[in-house]
Amino acid sequence: MVHWHEDDDGSALNVGRKTRSIPPAIRRALQRRDQGCRFPGCTAHKYVDAHHIHHWADGGETKLDNLVLLCRHHHRLVHEGGYGVRMTASGPKFTDSTGRTIAPVAETRFRGNVFALKLKNQRAGLEIDAETTISLWEGERMDDGMAVEGLLQLE
């Protein structure tokens, strides 16, 4: 038997330590709160997993305040890549494998009219296609002199 702890409005938001499985009511509340992967800069909102911040096996509870949605990639980084997450009053805070805090970023999900955005970009002379985000960098060291020269030409 699983005992439910309820919020003021009667919705179940905490099942304590009885189970690590996330009940549908908590899952819905989590999806409503997080609206996708909460890792800074990530825009994934499908195929996200609920992650226990304080792991269930280490005494963490199955409650909304101890859960965060992560895409599969970032969930793997937190479990196997040395990344960390902790919950604060303002939301989850993430650290990289060296322990440095990863700065939060502005909302990057575009929720407007895609056709209007494409038209605006075309009028501005921006041709955005499948090749746009492919980097030309191949891992070589940066040529500082060339970078400074390029910046000076912008003046």
Per-residue pLDDT tens digits for 12-37: 455 555 566 888 888 999 999 999 99
DSSP conformation class of 4: P
Question: What is the distance between the alpha carbons of residues 92 and 109, in angstroms, rounded to a whole number?
Answer: 18
Residue 83 Cα distances to 98, 101, 103, 108, angstroms: 8, 10, 13, 22
> How do the domains of the chain map onto residue ranges?
5-102, 114-153
Does residue 70 register a pLDDT over 90?
Answer: yes
Taking only the tens place, the pLDDT of each residue in 111-134 is 678 888 888 888 999 888 888 878
